[in-house]
Amino acid sequence: MDIANAQKAVDEWIQNHGVRYFNELTNMAQLTEEVGEVARIIARRYGEQSEKESDKAKDLGEELADVVFVVLCLANQTGIDLQAAFDKKLDLKTKRDHDRHQNNKKLK
C-alpha cells in the first residue's frame, strides 16, 4: 500500500470506527507516546539497557505501525498529502546528501 492509500485507509477507519479524529494536540501527544514505546523497545533490545521480561513479547513492528497510524491521522486532519511530501523530501535528500554520505569516511 502506498502512502496515499494508507491515508485513505486511515480516514475510512476513523469514519467507520473512530467516530472522529482526536484534535491535533491530542494526536501529537499520542504520537509522542507511541514514539516513546518504540524508543523503549530499541533501547532495551538493541541498546545497553537490559530488557525486562515483560517487555520481551512487545512487537517492534506493531509499535512502529502505531507511529505510522498517528502520523497518517495528523496528515489527514491538517490537509497534508503525505505521499507528495514524502516524494519531495526523498528527492531533496537524494540530491543534497548523496555525495556527502558517499564521501563520509565514518560510514565506510
Q: Provide the 3-class DSSP secondary structure of residue 59.
A: coil
Q: Provide the 3-class DSSP secondary structure of residue 23.
A: coil
pTM of the model: 0.89
> Which CATH class for the 3-82 domain?
mainly alpha
So where are the chain's domains? 3-82
| Residue 70 to residue 39: CA distance in whole angstroms | 16
Question: What are the residue ranges in the chain where pLDDT is below 70?
Answer: none
